[in-house]
Amino acid sequence: MSGESTFQTNNAVIKWIEYRLPIFSFIHGSAVAYPTPKNLNYWWNMGSLAGIMLVLQIVTGVVLAMHYTPHASMAFDSTEHIMRDVNYGWLLRYMHANGASFFFIVVYIHIFRGLYYGSYKAPREILWWMGIIIFILMMATAFMGYVLPWGQMSFWGATVITNLFSAVPLVGDTIVTWLWGGFSVDQPTLIRFYSLHYLLPFVMFGVVFVHLWALHHHKSNNPLGIDIKGPQDTIPFHPYYTVKDLYGMGVFGIIFAITLFFAPNFLGHPDNYTPANPLVTPPHIVPEWYFLPFYAILRAIPDKLLGVIAMFAAILILFILPWLDTSKVRSARFRPVYKMLFWAFLIDCLVLGYVGGNPPEGVFIVFGRLATALYFLFFLTLPLIGWFEQPKALPNSIATAVLENSKDNGDVNNVVAKTEGSV
Is 288 catalytic? The answer is yes
Spot the catalytic one: 25, 119, 154, 220: 220
Q: Is 418 a residue of the active site?
A: no
Residue 245 bears catalytic tag? yes
Cross-strand pairs, 234: 37
CA terminus-to-terminus distance, the chain? 21
Of 223, 372, 410, nearest to 294 by C-alpha is 372
Q: Exposed/middle/buried for 314, CB within 10 Å: 0-12, 13-18, 19+?
A: buried
Name the catalytic one among 18, 233, 245, 325: 245
CA–CA distance, 312 with 165 (Å, rounded to integer) = 11
Question: Could you tell me which of 271, 275, 305, 274 has the C-alpha nearest to residue 285?
Answer: 271
Q: Is 244 a catalytic residue?
A: yes
238, 244, 304, 339: which one is catalytic?
A: 244
Q: Which is the catalytic residue, given 233, 271, 288, 348? A: 288
Q: Could you tell me how many residues make up the chain? A: 423
Phi, psi dihedral angles at 306 (to 5 degrees) = -65, -35
DSSP string covering 287-326: --GGGHHHHHHHHHSSSHHHHHHHHHHHHHGGGGHHHH--
Check: CB of residue 1 under 8 Å from CB of residue 29: yes
Measured between alpha carbons, how far is 342 from 346 in angstroms, rounded to an integer?
A: 6
Active site residue 233: no
User: How far, in Å, CA of 359 to CA of 361, rounded?
Assistant: 6
Please report, for residues 98, 112, 352, 375, 384, the alpha-carbon distance to residue 347 in angstroms, rounded to integers and kept in the order given. Answer: 24, 12, 9, 10, 21
User: Which member of 96, 197, 211, 216 is catalytic?
Assistant: 216
Kindly give, in sequence order, each residue whose CB lies less than 8 Å from that of residue 158, ignoring residues fewer than 6 positions away: 147, 185, 189, 193
Annotated active-site positions, please? Answer: 216, 220, 244-245, 288
